[in-house]
Amino acid sequence: MTYRYTFDVVKWNASKTVKCPSCKKTLRRSKTFEQTINPFNENAAGVPKSRTEILMELKDSAAVWTAKQEYCQACLAPVPEPEDE
The CA radius of gyration of the chain, in Å to the nearest whole number, is: 20
pLDDT tens digit sequence for 52-76: 999 999 999 999 999 999 888 888 8
Domain-embedded: residue 61: yes
Q: Which helix (H) or strand (E) holds 30?
A: strand 26-37
pLDDT at res. 75: 85
Q: Indicate the number of domains in the chain.
A: 1
Helix ranges restricted to H, the chain: 51-67, 73-76
d(CA 14, CA 72): 18
pLDDT tens digit sequence for 9-56: 999 999 999 999 888 999 999 999 999 999 999 989 999 999 999 999
Domain-embedded: residue 83: no
Domain-embedded: residue 35: yes
The whole domain housing 50 covers 14-76
CA angle 27/67/72 to nearest 5° reads 25
pTM: 0.77
Tell me how many helices (H) and strands (E) the chain has.
2, 2
Residue 34's contacts (CB-CB under 8 Å, 6 or more residues apart) are 9, 10, 11, 12, 58
Domain-embedded: residue 19: yes
